[in-house]
Amino acid sequence: MSHTLAIIKPDAVASGKAGKILAHLEEAGFTVRALRMTRLAPSQAGAFYAVHEGRPFYDELVSFMTSGPVV
């Protein structure tokens, strides 16, 4: 069995769409094994998106992903 990490981004959480997104994933056949709402620290987001470091959008991406809670 394979596992997939899904992150519901800050704008979707803020607009109240997290539940609909989770329902869509379950309808697509995914099973939610664990769920957590958290706010990423800049170091966490930077490490997660390290593959994009040096690209023009990197700083904006890290800023966006740390702008509010994610699920």
Rounded Cα distance between 44 and 60, Å, is 14
Q: Give this prediction's pTM.
A: 0.88
Higher pLDDT, 67 or 1: 67
pLDDT tens digits for range 6-59: 999 999 999 999 999 999 999 999 999 999 999 999 999 999 999 999 999 999
